[in-house]
Amino acid sequence: MLQVHSLEKRYHKHKILEDVNLQVSPGEVVGLVGENGAGKSTLLEILATVQSQSGGNIFLEERSYATDIKNIRKLIGYVPQEISLWEEFTVAENFLFFEKLSWKRRSLEACKQLCLDMQLDKWDEPVESLSGGMKRKLNLAISLIHDPILILLDEPTVGIDMKSKEEIGNYLVSLAKNQGKMIIYTSHDMTEITSCCDRIYCLGKDPFYSDLLKAKGVTVEKLGY
């Protein structure tokens, strides 16, 4: 389980996050919505150990971020909004490169299966020739090489076609339900969020997203201030 208690993030005197409390259980897909600048990406970066919190406590599988950060990092898969791939390399070459950096060794066959599971069958093609949806799938698949238990995704389907969005959403749900992964992801696509997520958190002061979801009969949990 992921547990976040009274999380705060400050830059000098400016508070980005204040009194954020949340939890995610194995097998859950949790959505995170809110206006631009609300702190969604910052929250994911803190959970991914890219940034440190200014206050509060975070626990993953009863391990504290304050005292066991090295081991916690081995349990996390993080995909930022920007696609981070070697464009001139093939899909296979990208996997070979990132597998060498992974916490866990995976065979070439296992890496290829990750792609096939996501309906990405361009194994020998250069990344620069792939569609936006295929690149997003590859970016996500690479984050799973070390078999993380917590997967953090910042706008994983932004700018791609509806078919790829649906395929990625279905795959995330299957990871949670069949493998017990904990998944948190941000999106501005309310249809996507409501169709894939078990629960939805709303971050920020603007009530637009929470009101929109509540009007659809969806329960939204408020985060922070």
Cα separation, 211 vs 121, whole angstroms: 40
The string over 162-201, giving b where at least 16 C-beta atoms fall within 10 Å of a residue's C-beta and e elsewhere, is: eebbebbbebbbebbeeeebbbbbbbebbebbeebbebbb
pLDDT band at 225 (very low <50, low <70, confident <90, very high): low
Q: Provide the pLDDT for residue 3.
A: 98
Q: Which homologous superfamily is 2-85+150-223 in? A: P-loop containing nucleotide triphosphate hydrolases (3.40.50.300)
Domain locations in the chain? 2-85+150-223
**How far is Cα 64 from Cα 3, in angstroms, rounded to an integer?**
10
* First CA to last CA distance, the chain: 24
Per-residue model confidence as pLDDT tens digits over 103-130: 888 888 898 899 899 888 888 999 999 9
Q: Is the pTM of this model over 0.85?
A: yes
The closest of 215, 90, 75, 79 to 148, measured between CA atoms, is: 75
